[in-house]
Amino acid sequence: MDDAIRIERLSKTFDGGRKVLDEVALRIAPGEMVALIGASGSGKSTLMRHIAGFIQSDPQPSYIDILGRPIQRDGRIVREVRSIRTDLGFVFQQFNLVNRLSVITNVLTGTLSRVPLWRSLLFLFTHEEKAQALAALAEVGIGELAYRRAGTLSGGQQQRAALARTLIQRAKIILADEPIASLDPESARKVMDLLKRLNGEHGLTVLVSLHQVDFAMKYCARTIALHRGHVVYDGPSSALTPHLLRHLYGSDAEELLAPAALNELEQNATPRTGLEAEVGTQRGAASMSAELPAVSPAVSAMPGNEASWSAKVEPRPAARPRFARRAS
C-alpha cells in the first residue's frame, strides 16, 4: 500500500538565503493521525503548504508523493496538482471561510472540483449536494447553524465548518495547519476531538501542526518535531517529556509547553530513561550516551546535514522514533 504522504530531501530557501526547510524526509501511512510540532519559525506551516502544493520547493532532487502520486518533483509542482488536491482537505488557522456567505454555502465549496464550471461560478447546487452538506454540518455538531452567515460564528464553530467542508470534499487526507492556535481551550478541545473522530470513524489520515505538545500527546500516537527546518524527532508522542523537549529545542521548548501543562508533565514524569539521555544534544565538546532498556529509538542522520549523528540500537516491537541533532 502506498504511503498517504511521502517526502524526501525537501528544502526551501526564501529570499535573502534564509533556509526554512532543510532536507526534510518523512512518511505517513494511511489512517495515521500525526502531530507536527515546533516553535515559531520552525517551518511547520511552510512544510504543510508544500505538501498541499501551494509552494514549490528548492530546485534540487526531491519529491512529495500523495497516496502514491507525485505532487512535487525536484522543485516543480506537477501539472495534475488540482486533481491530486481533491484528496487533500486543508484546514487553515484562520478558517478560510467567506464571512458574507452562509455556512452551508461555504461547506458546499468543497464540491466545486466535481461540479460543472457554470454551476460553480453561479454557486448553484443540487438538492442532493445540499443534503450532503447538511449531513456534514450535523456530523461536526453545528447543523443548526447551516443558514447563518459564516462571519457570525465563533472561532471554534468556523473551524468545525471548515472540517465539514473537507468531509463533503471527500478528502482522504486532512492537513490541519495550527487549527486550534486562535481558539479558547474548550473550543480547541472540541476541534481536536472532532479531528480524532474523523480519523477513527472515517479512516482519514490527519497531519495536524500544533504549538502545544500536551495536545499532541493526548490526541496523536506519533509526533514529528521540527526545529529550524530539520526533523529532530519522529516517534511516540508519549516520549515527549519536558526534559526531552528542552534537549531538542533548548530555550524554545518553553514555547511548546503551557505553564499548566508543563507542571503536570513534570509531576507525572517518570525517572529519566536512557531514551532521554540518548537524545541529549552535544553542547561544545561534551556528548551524552546511555543504554536504552525501555524504549529503543532508531537514531538516524538527516541527508545532507553534516551536523547530524547516527547510532544503532536494539529495536523492540514498537514505534521507533528518529532523532537528528539540534542545529546550532
Q: What is the pLDDT of residues 118-136, one digit of tens each?
A: 887 788 899 999 999 999 9
Residue 159 has pLDDT above 90, yes or no: yes
- Which residue stretches of the chain are H helix? 44-51, 81-85, 103-108, 117-122, 127-139, 155-169, 185-202, 213-219, 242-249, 253-256, 259-268, 274-278
> Which region among 111-120, 144-153, 156-165, 276-285 has the lowest average model confidence (pLDDT)?
276-285
Q: What is the pLDDT of residues 263-319, one digit of tens each?
A: 555 555 544 444 443 443 333 333 333 332 233 333 333 333 333 323 333 333 445
Q: What is the pLDDT of residues 32-79, one digit of tens each?
A: 999 999 998 899 999 999 999 999 999 999 999 999 999 999 999 999
Average pLDDT, the chain: 83
What pTM was estimated for this model as a whole?
A: 0.80
pLDDT of res. 137: 97
Burial 5-42 (b: 16+ CB within 10 A, else e): bbbebbbbeeeeeebbbbbbbbebeeebbbbbbbbeeb
